Amino acid sequence: MSEMIRDGEQSHVWPLPDEGCASNDLVAFTQRLDALAARRGLLHTTLADTSGVQISLLQSGPMVQGPALLIAAGFHGEEPAGPWGLLRFLDTAPDDWFARARLSFLPLVNRTGFAAGRRFNAWGENPNRGFTANPRGETPSREGQLLLAHAARLQQLGRDGVLSCHEDVLQQHGYVYSFEHAAQPGPFSLTLRDSNARFFTLLADGEVDGCPVQDGLVFNHRDSSFEAWMLQNGAARTACTETPGLQPIAPRIAANAAMMAAFVEHALTPV
Ligand code: NI
């Protein structure tokens, strides 16, 4: 999530044996996304600006009730297991979840980065920074400006929870950034962390990108990211999951789908 030691321009592409294409195949990704959105009865709209930036938004139909949950992926183009994991989730999640929860998806925020296998977008901007006022003076990318322009809508869609799925190409181990209106990580944070840990050993206690990590969690670290902004924007809880980019791609995709499932199941489980 943090960028200080990361190369925004280096390309990372993996072959996807199960999907039969490369991890940066935007055409294959888009075709499958469209088919799954239709199968699930999701409304598909495109957020766009005048410079050609486009972000797909999928959401439940107006009759669906239940918790409002927003899942986002593909902020960073060298982290493809999030978007591909989202397709896996849409393909395999129980049908009744789509009737019991108001599910919305930003399946691929940084299209140009994804197609190039590069962290940053085509303009060299970091799409997960600058959402909030910050002491570093980080400003939003084109994608960030577009999402900020739809703040009220996103606030509604993610009112009961926001999950943003990332990867860390420098790591062998998994971890989670989580945000709650609480002093300690609650069941929401622990559920996502434990879901990640079913696939990967968790990062040891210490620091990651200058943030303190304990028990696989970086908790309430207020940076200028999308997930930090969405909490400030009224979401009940938000998280940014990190699968390890130094591990094989297949379990990374499986882990992302599993964490999305854990996120929805947690919101649907009575406390
Ligand atoms: Ni990232």
Structure confidence by residue, pLDDT tens digits, 39-48: 999 999 999 9
Nearest in space to 241 (alpha carbons), one of 85, 34, 10 = 85
Report the separation in Å between the CA atom of 196 and the middle of ligand 1, taken as the mean of its atom positions: 15
Report the separation in Å between the CA atom of 58 and the middle of ligand 1, taken as the mean of its atom positions: 21
Report the separation in Å between the CA atom of 64 and the middle of ligand 1, taken as the mean of its atom positions: 31
Report the separation in Å between the CA atom of 3 and the middle of ligand 1, taken as the mean of its atom positions: 8
Report the separation in Å between the CA atom of 130 and the middle of ligand 1, taken as the mean of its atom positions: 14
Report the separation in Å between the CA atom of 256 and the middle of ligand 1, taken as the mean of its atom positions: 13
Report the separation in Å between the CA atom of 78 and the middle of ligand 1, taken as the mean of its atom positions: 8
Report the separation in Å between the CA atom of 65 and the middle of ligand 1, taken as the mean of its atom positions: 31
- Give the environment of ion ligand 1: residues with CB less than 5 A: 76, 166
Report the separation in Å between the CA atom of 79 and the middle of ligand 1, taken as the mean of its atom positions: 6
Report the separation in Å between the CA atom of 31 and the middle of ligand 1, taken as the mean of its atom positions: 24
Report the separation in Å between the CA atom of 47 and the middle of ligand 1, taken as the mean of its atom positions: 21
- Confidence band of 3 (pLDDT split at 50, 70, 90): very low
Nearest in space to 33 (alpha carbons), one of 120, 111, 102, 99 = 111
Nearest in space to 12 (alpha carbons), one of 76, 99, 57, 55 = 76
84 burial class (0-12, 13-18, 19+ CB within 10 angstroms)? Answer: buried
Indicate if the pLDDT at residue 197 is higher than 80: yes
- Confidence band of 271 (pLDDT split at 50, 70, 90): confident
With pLDDT > 90 as the criterion, what percentage of the chain qualifies? 95
Residues 223-269: tens digit of each pLDDT: 999 999 999 999 999 999 999 999 999 999 999 999 999 999 999 99
Indicate if the pLDDT at residue 195 is higher than 60: yes
Average confidence (pLDDT) over 78-106: 98
Indicate if the pLDDT at residue 64 is higher than 70: yes
User: What is the C-alpha to C-alpha distance for residues 151 and 169, in angstroms, rounded to an integer?
Assistant: 29
Candidate from 49-53, 125-129, 182-186, 234-238 with smallest mean pLDDT: 49-53
Query: What's the pLDDT score for residue 28?
Result: 98
Query: What's the pLDDT score for residue 169?
Result: 97
Indicate if the pLDDT at residue 145 is higher than 50: yes
Query: What's the pLDDT score for residue 225?
Result: 98
pTM comes to 0.97
Report the separation in Å between the CA atom of 23 and the middle of ligand 1, taken as the mean of its atom positions: 16
- Asked whether the beta carbons of 196 and 216 are under 8 A apart, the reply is yes
Indicate if the pLDDT at residue 4 is higher than 60: no
Average confidence (pLDDT) over 99-105: 98
Query: What's the pLDDT score for residue 32?
Result: 98
- Confidence band of 2 (pLDDT split at 50, 70, 90): very low
CA 232 to chain CA centroid, nearest Å = 17
Q: What does the chain come to in residues?
A: 271
Residues 14-35: tens digit of each pLDDT: 999 999 999 999 999 999 999 9
The per-residue pLDDT of the chain, averaged, comes to 96
Report the separation in Å between the CA atom of 175 and the middle of ligand 1, taken as the mean of its atom positions: 12
Report the separation in Å between the CA atom of 128 and the middle of ligand 1, taken as the mean of its atom positions: 7
Sheet holding 43-48, edge to edge: 43-48, 54-59, 102-106, 68-73, 161-168, 237-244, 175-180, 217-219
Report the separation in Å between the CA atom of 121 and the middle of ligand 1, taken as the mean of its atom positions: 12
For residue 43, CA distances in Å to 36, 58, 150 come to 11, 5, 17
Residues 115-141: tens digit of each pLDDT: 999 999 999 999 999 999 999 999 999
Report the separation in Å between the CA atom of 74 and the middle of ligand 1, taken as the mean of its atom positions: 8
